[in-house]
């Protein structure tokens, strides 16, 4: 499996696809958003810093994010490849990442903004067992209640409509330029993010992801 970066706007399905690719190829999924959300939950110093930025839909400082990811990439499970989900998010991060590790392929999931807002605003999460739902696409049997453990579902703090708009603005301004950046390096593959999760996954695995 190659060293892969997943790109796409918030709500493109990066998290879901990253987990499926990682499972399929038995490599780790490194999600910077998950690392930060764990830190918030645990109330660490990083968590306190992260919470404020995340709740505004803004990015954390590049240098901090690079430290976190550099530590993670040092672990032995990254030896045979990995899926990076959530970093790089700026051209500076992409340039710093190159100094740490060689990236073989960048897969960008292409989804329009309207669709992204619909997906994110309907997303629900069980705060206890972390099962994911969607009011439209994957509703729980009883509205707003977790099927598995009966807990009332929550929205991610940053999935509130106002924050979603800001996350999209941040994406347009800081992350979208990475498409051009990686295109010039000839390692960008753009796939259509519309349709069912399995369809999108098939599009991704039909790319040549095996290491030569
Ligand atoms: P995600 O789960 O990938 O959508 O990330 C959630 C939030 O974490 C983002 O909106 C940012 O506030 C923060 N974040 C995650 N990854 C990065 C990164 N590489 N650089 C800066 N901020 C990040």
3-state secondary structure 117-158: HHHHHCEEECCCCCCEEECCCECCCCCCECCCCCCECECCHH
Give this prediction's pTM.
Answer: 0.89
11 CB neighbour count, 10 Å cutoff? 25
Q: Which of 93-102, 159-168, 171-180 has the lowest mean pLDDT?
A: 159-168
Angstrom distances, CA of residue 8 to CA of 71, 128, 152 = 24, 28, 30
Residue 51: which pLDDT band, with cuts at 50, 70 and 90? Answer: very high
| 10 Cα nearest atom in ligand 1 | 4
10 lines ligand 1 (CB under 6 A): yes
156 exposure class (CB count in 10 Å sphere: 0-12, 13-18, 19+): middle
pLDDT of residue 35: 96
Report the chain's mean pLDDT, rounded to a whole number.
94
Catalytically active residues, by annotation: 14, 89, 123, 156, 167
CA-CA distance, 99 to 154, in Å (whole number)?
39
Q: What is the pLDDT of residues 123-143, one digit of tens each?
A: 999 999 989 999 998 999 999
29 Cβ closer than 6 Å to some ligand 1 atom:
no
pLDDT tens-digit readout, 96-112: 999 999 999 999 999 99
Question: Which of 5, 10, 59 has most ligand 1 atoms within 8 Å of its beta carbon, as the pocket-test mutant?
Answer: 59
Give the integer Cα–Cα distance in Å for 7 and 14: 7
Q: Does residue 83 line the site of ligand 1, with CB under 6 A?
A: no
């Amino acid at each position: 499996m190659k060293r892969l970066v997943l790109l796409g706007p918030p709500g493109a399905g990066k998290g879901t696809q990253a987990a499926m690719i990682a499972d399929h190829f038995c490599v780790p999924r490194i999600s910077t958003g998950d690392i930060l959300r764990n830190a918030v939950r645990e109330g660490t110093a990083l968590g306190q810093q992260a919470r404020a930025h995340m709740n505004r839909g803004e990015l954390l400082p590049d240098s901090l994010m690079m430290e976190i990811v550099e530590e993670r990439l040092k672990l032995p499970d990254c030896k045979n490849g990995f899926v990076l989900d959530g970093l790089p998010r700026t051209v500076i991060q992409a340039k710093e990442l190159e100094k740490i590790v060689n990236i073989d392929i960048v897969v960008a999931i292409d989804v329009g903004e309207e669709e992204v807002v619909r997906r994110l605003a309907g997303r629900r999460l069980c705060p206890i067992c972390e099962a994911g739902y969607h009011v439209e696409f994957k509703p729980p049997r009883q509205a707003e209640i977790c099927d598995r453990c009966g807990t009332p579902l929550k929205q991610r703090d940053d999935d509130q409509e106002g924050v979603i708009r800001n996350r999209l603005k941040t994406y347009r301004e800081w992350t979208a330029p990475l498409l051009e950046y990686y295109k010039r390096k000839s390692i960008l593959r753009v796939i259509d993010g519309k349709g069912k999760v399995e369809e999108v996954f098939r599009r991704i695995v039909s790319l040549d992801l095996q290491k030569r």
